[in-house]
Amino acid sequence: MKKLIIITIILLSVSISKACDICGCGVGGYYIGLLPDFNKRFMGLRYQYSRLTTQLDIDGNHTALSRDEKYNSMELWGAWNIGDRWRILGIIPYNFNERYTNGSDLLQKKSGLGDIVLNSYYKLFEKMNTTSSNKLLVQTLWLGAGIKIPTGEYDVVEQQNTNGNSPNIFQLGTGSVDFMANLMYDIRIQDFGINTNATYKFNSINKDDYHYGNKLMANTTFYYKIALGANMRIAPNLGIAYENQQHDRTMGYKIEETGGNILNGTIGAEVNLNRVSFGVTYQNPLSQNLAQGRIKADNKFLAHVSFSF
């Protein structure tokens, strides 16, 4: 039990330290959260919405150059358990980006395929035992690695022509092959559980010699499973998601007004009905410091419907 408490404290501290896919570029945050209940495999559609305000002044106030940017992403996602130890998870996003002037006039929009993500996981351990009060205790730890493929359009020349500032923000992809180290940990006592996901993303330099800052993304979710019949369960959940992004670099030089961190509070619910799962998550910024205060993130919304088979 002492070992269990130590592991939980460590993983919680990871999820509230440095963690980010901030600042747009239409690539999404690769937020995982609670996966649908499945034994062999699942596939589904996931929707994400986020909003940013860019080009604020040094005090974080709107100016005539400020822009409201909206990012919508429809994702095909799925996972496949191979044997008892291996899992493959993939995300194929299609992005819809919009940029508005300070007067809410549509300035620019673009849509298209985003950067595809593939992750593989290895189950390090899965333990089931009973506590001193005869409650079932289940722990699972997955470690993984992944790759992000530059399938999304990256056109910095177009962005410079339409908007001279921050041409590397409003993109469908990053133009670089990136790599990820992943962790999934879940601990549950009876119907109450804690789920932690952490990903560190190593970004490479793209063809225009631009290097998006490396990112650490993590979230911890507290959930409670409620049975509503023989084949239906609902799991309301509450948690935090903290993201941190290092400074971008171009031609080896650090770009000061990039990177930063944000702490979001999350609330949502997962519903499982036979082989169909539904989920919604709402994220609200609790604190943030993005691009030295020149960018402000708004609320995020996520929803999915998935089918296990």
Confidence check: pLDDT of 19 > 70: no
The residue written with tokens 């589904």 in the block is: 44
Tokens describing residue 287: 């604190």
Give the pLDDT confidence score for residue 11 in this predicted structure: 38
CATH class of 2-308: mainly beta
**Mean pLDDT of all residues in 79-86:** 95
Is residue 234 within 8 A of residue 228, CB to CB? The reply is yes
Query: pLDDT (tens digit, 9 = 90+) per residue, 240-283?
Result: 999 999 999 998 899 988 899 999 999 999 999 989 999 999 99
Q: How confident is the model at residue 166 (pLDDT cuts 50, 70, 90)?
A: low
Q: Looking at 8-133, which runs of residues are DSSP E strands?
A: 41-54, 67-82, 86-100, 106-113, 116-130
Amino acid identity at 55? Q
**Cα(188)–Cα(271) distance, integer angstroms:** 17
Neighbours of 160 (CB within 10 A): 13
**Mean pLDDT of all residues in 57-81:** 92
Q: In what order do the strands lie in the sheet with 210-211?
A: 210-211, 249-250, 253-254
The domain locations on the chain are 2-308
Strand partners, 177: none
Is residue 217 within 8 A of residue 283, CB to CB? The reply is no
Q: How confident is the model at residue 34 (pLDDT cuts 50, 70, 90)?
A: confident
pTM tops 0.75: yes
**Cα(67)–Cα(53) distance, integer angstroms:** 6
DSSP single-letter state for residue 295: B
Alpha carbon 40 to its chain's center: 23
**Cα(112)–Cα(95) distance, integer angstroms:** 5
Q: How confident is the model at residue 59 (pLDDT cuts 50, 70, 90)?
A: confident
Give the pLDDT confidence score for residue 175 in this predicted structure: 92
Q: Is 60 left (phi over 0), alpha (psi -120 to 50) or beta?
A: left
**Mean pLDDT of all residues in 16-29:** 39
Q: How confident is the model at residue 14 (pLDDT cuts 50, 70, 90)?
A: very low
**Cα(34)–Cα(197) distance, integer angstroms:** 9
Q: How confident is the model at residue 2 (pLDDT cuts 50, 70, 90)?
A: very low
